[in-house]
Amino acid sequence: MEFNGCNKSRKDHPYKQACEQVLEELNCDFVGLALQNSNGPDVSWHYAAGNRNDKYKRITVRYGKGIAGKVISTGRSMKIEDFPNNILGKALEYPIMLAENLSYAFAVPIQLKGVLKGVLLVGNRTNQPISESDQHTILDAAKKLEKELNNSI
């Protein structure tokens, strides 16, 4: 499976639908799925729901940079609570937060064939946090996406 751009083929539909389902279930403002490109270490946003514009389609972050790059490189979930205040580094290092005007974000890693390859991010444009139980829903959604992505490779 190639992850080199925003392919609008029918094959992509389940991932977009999965993002929309999470958005609806959690009543949050934004859900995005980022995947590491197959031809290099860079990470791009491929699918989104609740997006205000199409900037996410053009955003590519380096491995280890931005929320997506950091989650993939560390393999751990990441939370940003009051963007752009109290963050590690500069606000400019978080392009998806700027593009979607997010204040709160929770991002979890996704594995492909046992290797960290993607990120599912859920965000709010207010400081409204994501509850503990909703965080479990996100982790479940990430596991479901993992299965679908692994089956499609």
Partner 1 sequence: MNTQPLKKNISSYIIQTHEEEIKRIAMELHEGVGQSLYSLFTGMQLIEKAIEQPAMKSYAGDMNQLLEKTIQEIRLLALELHPPSLTTLGLVSAMKSYINLYTSTYGIEVGVENLGVESQISDRDSITLFRVCQEALVNIARYADTTKASIIFKWKKSRLLIMIKDSGKGFEVETAMNKLSGLAAMSERMHLIGGKCIIYSKIDEGTSIEISLPLY
Q: How far apart are CA 27 and CA 22, in angstroms?
A: 8
User: What is the binding site for partner 1 (CB under 8 A)?
Assistant: 41, 53-63, 91-92, 95, 98-99, 101
Q: Is the Cβ–Cβ distance between 79 and 103 less than 8 Å?
A: no
- Least Å distance between CB 45 and partner 1? 9
- Least Å distance between CB 140 and partner 1? 29
CB atoms within 10 A of CB 69: 21
- Least Å distance between CB 123 and partner 1? 15
Residue placing its CB nearer to partner 1 in the complex, 100 or 146? 100
Residue placing its CB nearer to partner 1 in the complex, 1 or 92? 92
- Least Å distance between CB 25 and partner 1? 26
- Least Å distance between CB 8 and partner 1? 17
Residue placing its CB nearer to partner 1 in the complex, 50 or 130? 50
Give ∠ CA 36-14-123 in degrees, rounded to 5.
60
Residue placing its CB nearer to partner 1 in the complex, 63 or 129? 63
Q: Do you know the residue count of the chain?
A: 153
Residue placing its CB nearer to partner 1 in the complex, 39 or 151? 39
